[in-house]
């Protein structure tokens, strides 16, 4: 295990996440407070909360990340582009979009790539992470999804929404890393709830962790003293 990961560094891997359908404003406010206190990289929220988070975080080093086409990815490209533009206008600095999973499985790869590219263009230079939903894909699917994201100009590939069962695994991060190499970064998301899993995913190549358990992860590293 990588002993170089300290609590100070680990916090900068974390996108502190709240995407539940029943999330309330007071919970979003708490999310932002925790992100500031722990100097997390970002908070990750749905579109309707971007403006509030942008205001709450404006004097901090915490970015606002917004999901697009979430969680199914099956809405049309125009809708994803519009949601992206709305999020960026309201203060989002990073966009996590879901691919059209059915189109990928149909091998409509031009559609998948153009869908991603439209979000990249709508993001106006902001970081775009592409959620491929690994639990619904076989190895060939995952390889093709990563290749499409790379060719479309996205910045990250991301494992999961956390809403389709399964979640981030070392095996998936390793496969994704083998496809994108150093040309893209990798976000591991979905079920990252303990320090052992977090460090293993980082060791496998993840450069960002999407989790609602960021506070617990940092406390866990402090308790264990790292590896």
C-alpha span between 146 and 144 (Å, rounded):
5
Residue with tokens 């998936």: 172
Strand pairing category for 156-158 and 63-68 = unpaired
The catalytic residue among 63, 113, 129, 187 is 187
Query: Quick one: which of 25, 85, 35 has its CA closest to 59?
Result: 35
C-alpha span between 59 and 23 (Å, rounded):
24
Q: Decide if 50 contacts 28 (C-beta within 8 A).
A: no
Residue with tokens 């990961």: 5
Residue with tokens 């290749």: 147
The catalytic residue among 63, 113, 158, 177 is 158
Q: Decide if 178 contacts 204 (C-beta within 8 A).
A: no
Q: Is 219 a catalytic residue?
A: no
Q: Is 9 a catalytic residue?
A: no
The catalytic residue among 96, 113, 142, 177 is 96
Q: How many CA atoms lie within 13 A of 70 on its CB side?
A: 26
Q: Is 96 a catalytic residue?
A: yes
* β-strand partners of 220: none
Q: What residues are labeled active site?
A: 96, 158, 187
């Amino acid at each position: 295990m990588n002993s170089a990961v300290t609590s100070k560094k680990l916090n900068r891997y974390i996108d502190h996440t709240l995407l539940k359908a029943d999330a309330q404003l007071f919970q979003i406010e708490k999310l932002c407070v925790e992100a500031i206190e722990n100097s997390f990289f970002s908070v990750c929220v749905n579109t309707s909360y971007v403006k509030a988070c942008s205001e709450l975080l404006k004097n901090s080093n915490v970015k606002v990340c917004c999901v697009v086409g979430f969680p199914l990815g099956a809405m049309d490209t125009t809708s994803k582009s519009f949601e992206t533009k709305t999020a960026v206008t309201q203060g989002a600095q990073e966009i996590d979009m879901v691919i059209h999973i059915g189109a990928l499985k149909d091998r409509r790869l031009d559609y998948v790539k153009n869908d991603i590219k439209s979000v990249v263009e709508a993001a106006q230079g902001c970081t775009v992470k592409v959620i491929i939903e690994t639990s619904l894909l076989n190895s060939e699917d995952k390889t093709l999804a990563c290749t499409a994201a790379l060719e479309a100009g996205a910045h990250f590939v991301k494992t999961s929404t956390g809403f389709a069962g399964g979640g981030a695994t070392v095996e998936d991060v390793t496969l994704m890393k083998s496809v994108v190499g150093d040309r893209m970064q990798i976000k591991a998301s979905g079920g990252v709830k303990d320090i052992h899993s977090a460090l293993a995913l980082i060791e496998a190549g993840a450069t960002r962790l999407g989790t609602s358990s960021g506070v617990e992860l940092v406390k866990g590293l402090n308790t264990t003293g790292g590896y």
